[in-house]
Amino acid sequence: MQNTDRTYSVSKTDDEWRAELSPAEYQVLRQAGTERPYVGEYTDTKTEGVYSCRACGAELFTSDTKFDSHCGWPSFYSPLAGDRVEYIEDTTLGMKRVEVRCATCGSHLGHVFEGEGYGTPTDQRYCINSISLTLRPSDTD
């Protein structure tokens, strides 16, 4: 994973992350892996609530901006607030993509694409790994 020399408010050593996260979580969050499409637990979730970073708990997305992209991963058209995530240019795999990371702990979340014509208010698609998120359903009563 690219080192951005940033200081995060939640900062842990690699060994600490390894101890706290499952191997699958570690591989995506800390090594910028990608879970396989259509297998993530939140791919088609419609439950209302807030999605937090699975590594540090920072609130990142809400169900209000989640939409059906049919791409195989949970998709949002906007983060909860612009400063909750950070963007890093990613040129791995010979493509120019924009990586999305948690601005609180620097963990990898996914990528953001724009101009795909999904008809969302921002014309952006935050393509996020389910395993990078924890959904906290809102109270329904």
- Known catalytic residues are 127
Least distance to Zn ion, CB of residue 29, Å? 8
Report if residue 105 touches Zn ion, rule: CB under 5 A.
yes
Q: Which is nearer to Zn ion, 12 or 66 (CB)?
A: 12
Report if residue 104 touches Zn ion, rule: CB under 5 A.
yes
Kindly list the distances between the CA atom of residue 54 and the CA atoms of 47, 60, 69, 118, 124, in Å, as whole numbers in the listed order: 17, 10, 22, 27, 23
Assess contact for 122 and 141: CB atoms under 8 A.
no
Please give the Cα distance from 36 to 122 (Å, whole number).
26
Place of tokens 């120019």: 96
Q: Which is nearer to Zn ion, 10 or 120 (CB)?
A: 10
Least distance to Zn ion, CB of residue 111, Å? 16
Report if residue 102 touches Zn ion, rule: CB under 5 A.
yes
Reduce the DSSP state of residue 55 to 3 states and report it. Answer: coil
Binding site for Zn ion (CB under 5 A): 53, 55-56, 58, 102, 104-105, 107
